[in-house]
Structures are given as structure tokens and as C-alpha cells.
Amino acid sequence: MAMNTPHTLRASDLLFPTPVSIEDRDGSYRLHSTTTIAASPPFEETADTAAALLGCKRGGEDILFKHIEGLDDEEYRLSISTVQVVITASTTRGAFHGLSAVRKLALINDNILPACRVCDKPAFVWRGFMLDCVRHFFSVDFIKKLIDAASLFGLNRFHWHLTDDQGWRIPIDGWPKIEEIASRRSELQYNDGRTYGRLYTKEEICEVQAYAHKRQMIVIPEVETPGHVSALLAAYPEFGCTGGPYEVQDRWGIFNEVLCAGNDAMLAFFEDAIAQVATLFSDPYIHIGGDECPQSAWEACPKCQARMKAEGLTGEHQLQSWLTSQICAMVHKNGKRPIGWDEVLDGTEEMGLPDDLIVQSWQGIQGGLEASRRGHQVIMSPNTVGCYLDYRHRDSAEEMGNLGVSTLRQVASFTATPPQMDEQAKSMVLGAQGNLWSERVLSARQAEYLLFPRLQLLAQQLWNPREADENLNRIELLTKYCEKLDIHCYRGAVE
């Protein structure tokens, strides 16, 4: 046999995110189509998934999923010898992460699994990514491809941005103009009257969830309130302060037309819509938006002013927090937990917010600091330190991307618990997300280029945070993973 064949590589050189503990051993196990997989309860389904993903079959114990008590929720042990692969865990989540480690070794090393022993578990519970499917309508096939790749690197939350100024993508029974009007926009750069966008069907939404759940990934739908609602207002202009007319926007920005907080018919719509979303999506969270809501329309609206008076509110900021509380109550009524962008904190110093509202800190880290100080759990996705993956990879006019820069080094050194946080604040941080807004994304291939390898680096920092240089030294490995996954990634300079 020739020297330097692929199987002389060590598992510790190949696994990413770097496991918490890994010991390389001599020899390797060769995976092939007759390799068999067995599982002890409750891992039969994981074993089925493993057989499908690894191209093996159920039956004997070449690969064995073993259940033991006492490991943490997502923890796993992996032992690869020359004769057997054993994955040990206490939960199906842990067993799935063990499977992902095997799958990565098989993928990157031509089905030859270098012998090793791994003990591994994630540092943070919330390891997510957000995809804006409003500005660009991504196909279900592409969403599944992304979920698969993200789960392979240990991410476990898919935040699905589904309503905004430029469209509404969730079917809502009994409100026909959602599909007729809110789901599509006129493409103003063409003069032939063409429109862009559609709803996802309920079947597609269920298909995405089933696919994600097989990969131990939770799906969080986002329904924007009270701003970023032009599409909804175009369909139901009575929900706005002026009564319209409004249009589904084909421009990017922040629009002054927002939900009329004085309008009970608008509240009735959301009562119904949130209930339907809560039924359609089976996981425990609903994101209610809350970002970038101008209040000028409320200042000029007699109905909003009457609401403020009736509720004893002293300013429009308080009207936003009143409305946030109303929407949160609808989410609670349906047994779900609300998440909001960090503007939900504005104007709530006196009024407060529901205790269980999770705050997503996007405008830098300040929102996270403030929310954690006030007792809210926090998801960090600061646009200032690398979490906005629609930003360019480097500060160059030749690079694709929108608005800002998120360098590989920023992501590689990202910490979800920055040093400005004291121990109490850090204890409120669930984890973090990378967000891909899609105003300037025209295709799935462009999305891949923006997401990778930054999403892999973020996954490392949420699984097992390392020094930036250690992560950046492995960019070539990440690129190779992308090749194997048919993902077009950024290959330019590291800055």
C-alpha cells in the first residue's frame, strides 16, 4: 500500500467542530454498503437515519448505538476501532451528534474512519441560523440542504424568517388576501408586470420540519410585528393607521407603515394567525419580530392615541411594548414561547415584558447585556462581531454582500458570552445565531457563498469555543467539507 494514503489521517485532524476530547488510535474502520447498524432502545430511529445517511443497512452490530444513563442532554461518546463503531448517549440528540461525527469522517476521508475515542458535548444549548425566505424565496430543497449541512456541524436551531415588508410566506386559512396579495410583490425593475414570491404550502412546511427533526433541529417560525408588515397591510389595509393603500414592497429599508395598535380587528387577525402558526409548527417557539418599528404613524393616528390613553401609556415607545405584550399573550395562549429582536426592550423599563420572552440581541451586544440584566434569556446574534452572514467576507467592493463586513476572523473568535457580561448575565445566554438576510441574494448558490465557511466557524464557537487562529488554521478542511457537500463557499483572503 502506498504511503500517505488518506487513512493515515487522524480523526483529530478531520473532525470539525473540534471535539471537547479526542484520542487518536491506530488503524481504521472501513465503511461500506454491507456495514450493518444496530441500536438499543430508544435509538432505533437514529439507527434508521444513520443507515440512510451513511448508506449502510440495519441488522448486525458493525455500528452500534448504545444507551446509557447519566450523560448530558446532547453529549455523546464515540469509539471507532478496526472492528466496530460504537456511539453511546443518553438522549437521541446525543446519539445524533455521534452519528454526525461518523458521517463527517466518512465524508471527508472516503469512508475510512480513523480509529479514535471521542467524548463530546456542546457548550451552548442554542446553536442556530436564520434564513430570510421573504426577500428571496428559497426552495424547500435548498432549505433541506442547508439544514442537513448545518446539523452536520452541530447546529440545532433553524430560524425561518417568513413575513416581512416584501412578502408573507405562511398560509393562514380564512384570510384569502394573504395568498392573493401579501405573498407576492411586483418586480419594479421589470416593466412586464411580473411578480415575485408565493406562500410555502402547509405540506412544504411540514416536510421541512420533519426533515429538520430527523436531524435534531428545532424550527422557529418568525411572524414580524409590529413593523416590517407592508405585505400584510397591502392585503388588509384596515390593519394600518391610515387605512392605506399600501403595497407589498419591492424596495429594501424600514417603512413607516406599521400595525395600528389601536385597531382591534388587527389584534383579532393575529389572534387567529398565531393560533394557526402554533398548530402548523410543532416546536416550542414563535419569533414575533419587534425590530425596526418607526412610531411616526402612531403619533398621527387617533386610534393609537386613544389606545394609549385607555391603557395609561405615556409615549409611543410604551405603545410598542403594550403591543408586544399582547402578541406574547397570544403566543402563550397557544402553549408556545415568544422570541423578539432586541428592540422589544425599548420603552419597557417601567412596564416590563413577559418574563419568558427570549431576547435576540442583534444591534451589537447591548441588547443582550440589557436583557440578561433584566432577567430575560438571550440569543446573541450581534451584527457588529460577525453574526450577520449577509455582510461581505472582507471590506472589498469586489465581494458579494450587503451593508457591512463580517470577517472570518470575527466569526472564528466569536464569543456568545462577551467579557462585558458578569456571571449572572452569562448564565442567561442560551447561545447564538448566524443570520442571513436576503435582500441582495439572488440564488441559493450566493447564499451558500455567504454562509460558508462562516456558519461552520460559528458552529465551532458554539460547540467548543477555540482561539481564532486555531479555527482559521482549519479553513482548508472546511472548504473540503463544502466540496464534499456540493456547497459553494468563500475561498478568498482571511481577514
Give the binding site for Zn ion (CB under 5 A): 241, 260, 262, 301, 303-304
Q: Which is nearer to Zn ion, 52 or 265 (CB)?
A: 265
Burial (0-12, 13-18, 19+ Cβ within 10 Å), 387: buried
Residue 331 CA: distances (Å) to CA of 82, 160, 269, 291, 437? 52, 17, 13, 18, 24
Q: Which is nearer to Zn ion, 264 or 483 (CB)?
A: 264
Cell numbers representing residue 395 in the block: 471590506
Q: Which is nearer to Zn ion, 304 or 380 (CB)?
A: 304
Cell numbers representing residue 430 in the block: 442560551
Q: What is the number of alpha carbons within 13 Å of residue 18 lying toward its C-beta? A: 18
Min CB(490)–Zn ion separation in Å = 44
- CA-CA-CA-CA torsion sign (7, 13, 17, 21): positive
Min CB(230)–Zn ion separation in Å = 15
Q: Which backbone phi and psi does 134 adopt, to 5 degrees?
A: -100, -60
Rounded Cα–Cα distance for residues 134 and 138 (Å): 8
Rounded Cα–Cα distance for residues 183 and 489 (Å): 30
Identify the bridge partners of residue 459 per DSSP, sorted by sequence position. Answer: none
Min CB(303)–Zn ion separation in Å = 5
Q: Which is nearer to Zn ion, 256 or 276 (CB)?
A: 256
Burial (0-12, 13-18, 19+ Cβ within 10 Å), 118: buried
Min CB(270)–Zn ion separation in Å = 15
Rounded Cα–Cα distance for residues 398 and 415 (Å): 29
Q: Which is nearer to Zn ion, 312 or 419 (CB)?
A: 312
Q: Which is nearer to Zn ion, 57 or 303 (CB)?
A: 303
SS3 state at 87: strand
Q: Which is nearer to Zn ion, 241 or 459 (CB)?
A: 241
Q: Which of 137, 165, 135 is nearest to 439 (CA)?
A: 135
Q: Which is nearer to Zn ion, 234 or 260 (CB)?
A: 260
Min CB(265)–Zn ion separation in Å = 12
Pairing of strands 378-380, 429-436: parallel
Min CB(240)–Zn ion separation in Å = 7
Rounded Cα–Cα distance for residues 100 and 152 (Å): 5
Rounded Cα–Cα distance for residues 490 and 450 (Å): 7
Listed in sequence order, the residues at least 6 apart from 284 whose beta carbon sits closer than 8 Å to its beta carbon are: 218, 335, 336, 337
Identify the bridge partners of residue 480 per DSSP, sorted by sequence position. Answer: none
Q: Which is nearer to Zn ion, 113 or 241 (CB)?
A: 241
Min CB(174)–Zn ion separation in Å = 24
Min CB(166)–Zn ion separation in Å = 22
Count Cβ atoms below 10 Å from residue 252 Cβ, excluding itself: 14
Q: Which is nearer to Zn ion, 325 or 402 (CB)?
A: 325
DSSP annotation of 433: E
Q: Which is nearer to Zn ion, 54 or 233 (CB)?
A: 233
Rounded Cα–Cα distance for residues 454 and 16 (Å): 13
For residue 22, the surrounding DSSP H or E stretch is strand 21-30
Rounded Cα–Cα distance for residues 140 and 200 (Å): 9
Min CB(298)–Zn ion separation in Å = 6
- CA-CA-CA-CA torsion sign (143, 144, 147, 152): negative
Q: Which is nearer to Zn ion, 305 or 366 (CB)?
A: 305
Min CB(318)–Zn ion separation in Å = 14
Min CB(241)–Zn ion separation in Å = 3
Q: What is the dihedral of CA 271, 277, 281, 284, to 10 degrees?
A: -30
Rounded Cα–Cα distance for residues 225 and 6 (Å): 53
Min CB(495)–Zn ion separation in Å = 46
